[in-house]
Amino acid sequence: MKKKLICIVISVMTIAFALTLGAQVGGGDIVMKNSGGDATFSHERHTGKGLTCEQCHPEPYMMGEKHKTVTMKEMAQGASCGLCHNGKKTFTFKGNCTTCHKK
Protein backbone atom coordinates (compact mmCIF):
# COMPACT_ATOMS: atom_id res chain seq x y z
CA MET A 1 0.00 0.00 0.00
CA LYS A 2 2.75 2.40 1.06
CA LYS A 3 4.76 1.35 -1.99
CA LYS A 4 1.84 2.15 -4.27
CA LEU A 5 1.49 5.62 -2.75
CA ILE A 6 5.18 6.34 -3.27
CA CYS A 7 4.81 5.22 -6.88
CA ILE A 8 1.93 7.63 -7.43
CA VAL A 9 3.81 10.52 -5.82
CA ILE A 10 6.83 9.84 -8.01
CA SER A 11 4.79 9.68 -11.22
CA VAL A 12 2.96 12.92 -10.39
CA MET A 13 6.28 14.62 -9.73
CA THR A 14 7.71 13.28 -13.00
CA ILE A 15 4.73 14.54 -15.00
CA ALA A 16 4.88 17.96 -13.31
CA PHE A 17 8.60 18.17 -14.02
CA ALA A 18 8.11 17.14 -17.66
CA LEU A 19 5.39 19.77 -18.08
CA THR A 20 7.53 22.58 -16.63
CA LEU A 21 10.43 21.48 -18.79
CA GLY A 22 8.17 21.25 -21.84
CA ALA A 23 6.83 24.75 -21.25
CA GLN A 24 10.37 26.11 -21.43
CA VAL A 25 11.75 23.96 -24.22
CA GLY A 26 8.90 23.47 -26.64
CA GLY A 27 7.16 26.74 -25.81
CA GLY A 28 9.99 29.20 -26.08
CA ASP A 29 10.29 31.40 -29.16
CA ILE A 30 13.33 30.90 -31.37
CA VAL A 31 14.62 33.97 -33.19
CA MET A 32 16.50 33.28 -36.42
CA LYS A 33 18.60 36.22 -37.45
CA ASN A 34 18.99 36.69 -41.21
CA SER A 35 19.31 39.35 -43.91
CA GLY A 36 15.54 39.41 -44.52
CA GLY A 37 14.84 40.60 -40.95
CA ASP A 38 14.60 38.53 -37.76
CA ALA A 39 12.26 35.55 -38.21
CA THR A 40 10.63 34.14 -35.09
CA PHE A 41 9.56 30.53 -34.74
CA SER A 42 7.01 29.95 -31.99
CA HIS A 43 6.55 26.40 -30.68
CA GLU A 44 3.42 27.53 -28.89
CA ARG A 45 1.78 28.77 -32.09
CA HIS A 46 2.57 25.53 -33.89
CA THR A 47 1.74 22.89 -31.30
CA GLY A 48 -1.41 24.93 -30.63
CA LYS A 49 -2.43 24.16 -34.22
CA GLY A 50 -2.44 20.45 -33.47
CA LEU A 51 1.03 19.67 -34.82
CA THR A 52 2.98 17.01 -32.94
CA CYS A 53 6.70 17.10 -32.11
CA GLU A 54 7.24 14.23 -34.57
CA GLN A 55 6.08 16.34 -37.53
CA CYS A 56 9.17 18.54 -37.10
CA HIS A 57 11.62 16.42 -35.06
CA PRO A 58 13.97 14.80 -35.94
CA GLU A 59 13.03 15.79 -39.50
CA PRO A 60 13.47 18.50 -40.68
CA TYR A 61 14.84 19.76 -37.34
CA MET A 62 17.26 17.63 -35.39
CA MET A 63 16.96 18.61 -31.73
CA GLY A 64 20.10 19.67 -29.92
CA GLU A 65 21.96 20.16 -33.17
CA LYS A 66 23.51 23.47 -34.13
CA HIS A 67 21.10 25.58 -36.20
CA LYS A 68 21.54 25.03 -39.94
CA THR A 69 20.90 28.18 -41.94
CA VAL A 70 18.42 27.74 -44.75
CA THR A 71 17.78 30.18 -47.62
CA MET A 72 14.36 31.12 -49.01
CA LYS A 73 15.43 29.41 -52.23
CA GLU A 74 15.87 26.15 -50.32
CA MET A 75 12.53 26.71 -48.59
CA ALA A 76 10.90 26.99 -52.00
CA GLN A 77 12.22 23.46 -52.55
CA GLY A 78 10.68 22.23 -49.30
CA ALA A 79 13.43 22.80 -46.74
CA SER A 80 12.70 23.96 -43.17
CA CYS A 81 9.57 26.18 -42.95
CA GLY A 82 9.00 25.48 -46.66
CA LEU A 83 8.04 21.91 -45.77
CA CYS A 84 4.63 23.26 -44.72
CA HIS A 85 4.51 26.93 -45.70
CA ASN A 86 4.07 26.02 -49.35
CA GLY A 87 0.41 26.88 -49.92
CA LYS A 88 -0.58 23.20 -49.63
CA LYS A 89 -0.17 22.22 -45.97
CA THR A 90 -0.58 25.82 -44.80
CA PHE A 91 -0.12 29.42 -45.99
CA THR A 92 2.70 29.95 -48.46
CA PHE A 93 5.68 32.16 -47.64
CA LYS A 94 5.23 33.90 -50.99
CA GLY A 95 3.84 37.37 -50.38
CA ASN A 96 3.61 36.71 -46.64
CA CYS A 97 7.10 37.93 -45.78
CA THR A 98 6.09 40.03 -42.77
CA THR A 99 4.20 37.15 -41.14
CA CYS A 100 7.61 35.72 -40.25
CA HIS A 101 10.06 38.57 -40.77
CA LYS A 102 10.00 41.54 -38.44
CA LYS A 103 12.22 44.39 -39.46
Q: Which residues bind ligand HEC (CB under 6 A)?
A: 22, 25-26, 30, 32, 34-36, 39, 41, 43, 45-47, 49, 51, 53, 55-57, 61, 63, 67-73, 80-81, 83-85, 89-91, 93-94, 96-97, 99-101
C-beta of 3 vs 66, nearer to ligand HEC: 66
Q: How wide is the angle at C-alpha 45 spanned by C-alphas 43 and 47, nearest 5°? A: 65
Whether 80 and 74 have beta carbons less than 8 Å apart is answered as yes
Residue nearest to ligand HEC (CB): 36
Instruction: Report in angstroms the alpha-carbon separations of 3 from 9, 11, 13, 16.
Output: 10, 12, 15, 20
- Could you give the C-alpha distances from 65 to 8, 15, 22, 68, in angstroms and in order? 35, 26, 18, 8
In the complex with ligand HEC, the residue whose CB is nearer, 7 or 90, is 90
6 vs 99 by CB, closer to ligand HEC: 99
CB of 1 to ligand HEC, least distance (A): 36
